Amino acid sequence: MSDAIAGALYVVATPIGNLDDLSFRAIRVLGEVALIAAEDTRHSARLLRHLGLTVPMLSLHEHNEPARIEQLDARLLGGESIALISDAGTPLISDPGFVLVRELRARGRRIIPIPGPCALVAALSAAGLPTDRFLFQGFLPARSAGRRARLEALVDREETLVFYESPHRIRDTLADLACTHQERQLVLARELTKTFETFLDGTAAGLLARMDADPDQTRGEFVIMVAGAKPRTGEDAVSFEADALLSALLEEGVGVKQAAAVASRVLGGAKKGWYARTQTLKDGD
């Protein structure tokens, strides 16, 4: 029985390391489609050879994705089925494909996911950090200033934070995390599903020290997971919200006296107290 539906684009997850993780359904679909759109055709050719498949491939990556839309859509309209794959894992998750899928969906084409390996889900499943809520941020900015700014903006998030990182930037990213998230618990997942798969946990500074002692720990692709901030409760939560309100008013050019009056009306309490607090915030800036 054929799985491939005429005129459909299949978004197919492929292994992130261990080839045995490819599902039977994914193998059948890859063997039945008329064309495979691959992030790197040379890389994906090795997978097809392993599976004994000889399916035509077309490159689709971040630099040519918009230009491929009409070409691929014409083939779908002609009744062909197409598979979209990335170099590893689930397409569109920090990989190309979003532009294509968005446009084809807008045109009414059928998009069918073939689920499977995904580095962030695999890492979270074995990290021992809360997974009821998590915030995936993909790759952080390459430059330290941009990376530090992004991390500082996330300091108060209570969800588990998840990032991807490359081996040549892992130490710099940990150094920035040591400044912004200090004693927060981190878990590093390295080389997932491969021979040297490793999970390391500790503070960012502690993990940097372990890499100094064992440089092999800097090799491979990483998933960085950071424990979320502790929830603000009671007076701490009220104090945080009040300061955020007062700071926002000051940034908008509202005077100290007017800001204190707004806080008194919204949050209650005497204007005199709010005036002193607002003035302190202004002097601190």
pTM: 0.80
CA-CA distance, 14 to 127, in Å (whole number)? 22
Distances in Å between the Cα of 270 and the Cα atoms of 88, 119, 191, 253, 257 are 60, 53, 58, 22, 12
pLDDT tens digits for range 29-47 = 999 999 999 999 999 999 9
| pLDDT confidence of residue 1 | 46
CA-CA distance, 13 to 87, in Å (whole number)? 10
| pLDDT confidence of residue 240 | 63
Three-class SS state of 13: coil
Contact residues for 196 (Cβ-Cβ < 8 A; gap 6+): 190, 216, 219, 220
| pLDDT confidence of residue 2 | 60
Q: How confident is the model at residue 228 (pLDDT cuts 50, 70, 90)?
A: very high
Give me 149's structure tokens: 């700014």
User: Mean pLDDT for the chain?
Assistant: 93
